[in-house]
Amino acid sequence: MMKTIRDTEKKYCSRALVTAIIIGFVLIVAGYKPIARGLILGTLFSIFNFILMGETLPKRVNQSAKKSFALALGSVFFRYAVLAIPLIAAFRSEKISVIAAACGIFAVQLMILADYVRGFVASARVKGKAL
C-alpha cells in the first residue's frame, strides 16, 4: 500500500512543482516576481500537505474507530496549520502575492483534477470512435 501512495505522491507532486516552476519562471521574466513567489511558495506547502496526508493515512487504517478519529482530526488541524504558513508569510510580506499563494495551495489538487479530466476526455474519445 505504501508503494502506491508514494507513487501517487511522486506523480502529482512532481507535476505540480514542475508546473509551478515553469509558470513562475514565465512570471519572473514578465516582471511579476511577487506572483511567482506566491505561486511557488503555495505549491511547496501544497506538496508538503499532500505528503503529510499520504503518510498519516496508513497509520489510521489499523486503529480503533475512536483512535482513528482522533488521529484524523489531529492530522487535519496540523495540515491546516501548515497550509496557513504561506498565507501568513504572504500577508506579512509585500514581496509575496497572497492570491498567488492561495492559488498555489491548490496546485496538487489541480493536478489531480487535470489528470481526471484528461482521462475522462480520452475515454470519451475512445467511446465516440467505437460508435
Going residue by residue through the chain, which has 131 residues, state the pLDDT in tens, using 9 for 90 and above: 667 888 999 999 999 999 999 999 999 999 999 999 999 999 999 999 999 998 888 777 777 888 888 888 999 999 999 999 999 999 999 999 999 999 999 999 999 999 999 999 988 888 776 54
Residue-wise burial string across 4-38, b where 16 or more C-beta atoms lie within 10 A, e elsewhere: eeeeebeebbebbbebbeebbeebeeeebebbbbb
Residues 6+ apart with CB under 8 A from 28: 36
Q: Is 46 exposed, middle or buried (0-12, 13-18, 19+ CB in 10 A)?
A: buried
Quick one: angle between helices 2-29 and 33-61, nearest 10?
170
User: For the chain, what is the radius of gyration of the CA atoms?
Assistant: 18
